[in-house]
Amino acid sequence: MAALDVSTVSHSYGARRALNDVSFQIAPASFTVLLGLNGAGKTTLFSLISHLYDTRHGSIRIFGHDIRRAPGEALRRLGIVFQARTLDLDLSVYQNLSYHASLHGIGRAEARRRIDAVMETVEMSGKLHDKARSLSGGQMRRVEIARALLHQPHLLLLDEATVGLDVQSRAGILANIRRLVATEGISVFWATHLIDEVGDGDHVVVLSNGNLVAKGYVAEVVAATGAKTIGEAFAKLSGKTPAAGEEPLP
Amino acid sequence: MTMPLPMETNGSGTLPLKAPAFGLANYLICLKGVLVREGLRFLHQRERFISSLVRPLLWLFIFAAGFRQVLGVSIIPPYKTYVLYEVYITPGLCGMILLFSGMQSSLSMVYDREMGNMRTLLISPFPRWFLLVSKLLAGVTVSIAQVYVFLAVAWFWGVKAPPLGYLMVLPALFLGGLMLCSLGLLLSSMIRQLENFAGVMNFVIFPMYFASPALYPLWRIQESSPLLHKICLANPFTYVVELIRFAFYGQIDWMSLGVVAGFTVLFLGGAIIAYDPSRGLMTRKQDTGGNA
């Protein structure tokens, strides 16, 4: 069973087509990168997968659960880190996480145990009682990742999770997420426009102007486009030079 | 709906693929979480609490004192004797707190949506209607707490209801708060930007408040303007005020109860539809903007 099955999905904003007949699958316990320049349709796709938008054309299944017909079952298996910051700045880290736990029906004692565990996973244990407002951008991201892991999802979506962060924070977060795939068997769908976040063994899905222009392992996409690197392949597919990040990852 | 708590895991850090459905206990945990969060937000926003109290107290201390001599209130149900003008407007001021608080909760929904916090709520696996009702109940609870603080201050000012009235008014405050918070929720689904909220103040809050028996009895309004009297009768806030007024004296105004209950269902139903991604206004908004 696919972790994520997106089948012939289209979406429009009025007359403007944001996604056009997009289909792909993500295997369980895999790291898949959604590559696309700004405006390619990544956030629209994430909004459809997370049921913020209604999937009117095509279907989306998360571990076999149709997001339209059984949104509750699908969302229970999905952890999401949005591009925009979504922590409540007036509350402490613990209160933010505890709120999320309750939104997933997790009782207080179990929530406390899981909060300690996920904060350790993202190396933020010492910040549990800090106000969210007092955290740096990178720390907020880590807390958001911890929050997305709290209900023990099978599929983790991260929408441009490293945008605006310094190189060390970016590398740390990426390494942390990759470790989760290996140790927890979580499937990760990582949206980015930063080409240096793509690993050689990753599966990639490339969006350009709302169209799926390539999918497969990095080596397959590179070979299919006749390019030498994934960066070159992406440039060919999207028709533009991709960003390499504010600073390249080590 | 039954499910053992805490939720069982498969030991590998992920939920079992065939996880049992949510039970009643899980729903209650969710509701409690939303209530706690709303309470914490309210406590963190002290200015909001103070301003919510200052507004009705100004009306009680200054406006009512000034108008006491100008505006005579005859003996009308539920009153059995002449009452001070301060006593007359107290139910209206309770309604005012519920009205402003309901709109405040709508403002916070718009703010949450703009800031992205709303997504945290909307991606919860619980049904959307349940999440909205939880949010609504949280807003009503905060509103009622504000009303009781106001009533305590008014008591020290010498404005006192029958002792049992403070208990009897609770269901009326709850239902009235539910109606007004539902209206706020429905409005929040229609307001695209925080800046548009000023329009709500001018076109919803003030007309609803002034075209009601909150400040003057309906018979007085009828004497001065039959048209305004008809508008007052069509205003659901009128019935919230009357429901509260009668409840203070241990009576039920059945007409008000029916109207308030009916509008609660209408506004809440509208809000649930509006926030349903497959049917509501949120869907239509997708078509006009957003980050691709």
Cβ within 8 Å, pair B286-A53? yes
Q: Is the CB of residue B86 less than 8 Å from the CB of residue B159?
A: yes
Residues 6+ apart with CB under 8 A from B60: B86, B89, B90, B93, B154, B157, B159
Q: What number of C-beta contacts closer than 8 Å exist between A and B?
A: 154
Q: How confident is the model at residue B241 (pLDDT cuts 50, 70, 90)?
A: very high
Residues A249 and A185 in one domain: yes
Instruction: Please tell me which residue of chain B has the smallest CA distance to A180.
Output: B13
A55, part of any domain = yes
Q: What angle do CA A5, B116, B287 make, to 5 degrees?
A: 65
A197 or B7, greater pLDDT: A197
Most B CBs within 10 Å, among A4, A62, A86, to test the B interface? A86
- 3-class SS of residue B205: helix
Specify whether A92 is located in the same domain as A136.
yes
Give residue A101's domain range: 87-152
The rounded mean pLDDT for chain B is 81
User: Smallest Cβ distance to B120: which of A43, A100, A106?
Assistant: A100
Sheet holding A57-62, edge to edge: A65-66, A57-62, A4-13, A16-26, A211-217, A203-208, A31-35, A187-192, A155-159, A78-81
Q: Are residues A166 and A250 both part of a single domain?
A: yes
φ, ψ for residue A78 (rounded to 5)?
Answer: -120, 130
Last residue of a domain, one of A123, A152, A181: A152
In chain A, how many domains are there? 2
Q: Name the phi and psi angles at B138, rounded to 5.
A: -65, -45
Q: Which residues in A lie closer than 8 A to residue B286 (C-beta atoms)?
A: 11, 13, 47, 53-54
Q: For residues B197 and B208, is the Cβ–Cβ distance under 8 A? A: no
Determine, for residues A186 and B14 on separate chains, whether the beta-carbon distance falls below 8 Å: yes
CATH number at residue A68: 3.40.50.300
Same domain? For A181 and A214 the reply is yes
Indicate if A135 and A201 belong to the same structural domain: no
Residues A99-123: tens digit of each pLDDT:
999 999 999 999 999 999 999 888 8
B30 to chain A: which residues are within 8 Å by CB?
102-105
- Among A112, A130, A152, the domain boundary falls at A152
A133 located within any domain? yes
If asked whether residues A62 and A112 sit together in one domain, one would say no
Q: Do A158 and A146 share a domain, yes or no?
A: no
With both helix axes pointing from N to C terminus, report the angle between B165-190 and B128-156 in degrees, rounded to the nearest 10.
Answer: 130
Residue type, B163: P
Among A114-118, A139-143, A160-164, B286-290, the minimum mean pLDDT is found in B286-290
Beta bridge partners of A187: A155
Asked if B9 reaches chain A (Cβ–Cβ under 8 Å), the answer is yes
Query: Is A40 part of any domain?
Result: yes
Q: From the CA of B274, how many Å to the nearest CA of chain A?
A: 13
B137 touching A (Cβ < 8 Å): no
DSSP alpha helices (H): ranges in A88-155?
93-103, 108-121, 137-149
Q: Is residue A82 part of a domain?
A: no
Look at residue B193 in the predicted model and tell me its pLDDT. 67
Residue-wise pLDDT for B125-165, tens only, equals 999 889 989 988 998 999 999 999 999 999 998 888 889 99
Contact: B30, A102; criterion CB under 8 Å: yes
Mean pLDDT within A240-245: 59
Positive or negative, the CA dihedral B135, B139, B140, B142 is positive
Could you give the percent of chain B with pLDDT greater than 90?
38
> How many angstroms away from the CA of A128 is the closest CA of chain B?
17
Q: DSSP secondary structure string, B86-103? A: HHHHHHHHHHHHHHHHHH
Does B41 lie at the interface with A, CB-CB under 8 angstroms?
yes
Distance from the A82 Cα atom to the nearest Cα atom in chain B, whole angstroms: 9
| Predicted confidence (pLDDT) per residue in A149-158, tens digit | 999 999 999 9
Q: Are residues A68 and A91 in the same domain?
A: no
ipTM of the complex: 0.85
Task: Decide if B291 touches A, using CB distance below 8 A.
Answer: yes
* pLDDT 10s digits, A33-84: 999 888 889 989 999 999 988 898 999 999 999 999 999 999 999 999 988 8
pLDDT higher than threshold 90 for residue A206: yes
- Both A126 and A231 in one domain: the answer is no
In a domain, A139, yes or no: yes
Give CA–CA dist A191/A161, Å, rounded: 8
* Å between A36 CA and nearest CA of chain B: 11
Does A205 reside within a domain?
A: yes
Domain's final residue, options A102, A119, A152: A152
Q: Whole-angstrom distance between the N-terminal and C-terminal Cα of chain B?
A: 39
In a domain, A118, yes or no: yes
**Nearest chain A CA: its distance from B138 CA (Å):** 13
CA B133 – CA B126 distance, rounded (Å): 11
Could you tell me if residue A110 is inside a domain? Answer: yes
For the cut 90, the answer to whether the pLDDT of residue B67 exceeds it is no
B192 DSSP β-pair partners: none
Same domain, A7 and A68: yes
Q: Do A105 and B277 touch (CB under 8 A)?
A: no
Q: Based on the domain organization, do A163 and A246 belong to the same domain?
A: yes
Would you call B119 and A50 a contact, using CB atoms and an 8 Å cutoff?
Answer: yes
For residues A2 and A62, state if they share a domain: yes
Whether chain A has a CB inside 8 Å of the CB on B117: the answer is: yes
Name chain A contacts of B292, Cβ cutoff 8 Å. Answer: 13, 18, 39-44, 210
User: What pLDDT, on a 0 to 100 scale, did the predictor assign at position B63?
Assistant: 81
pLDDT in tens, B28-40: 999 999 999 988 8
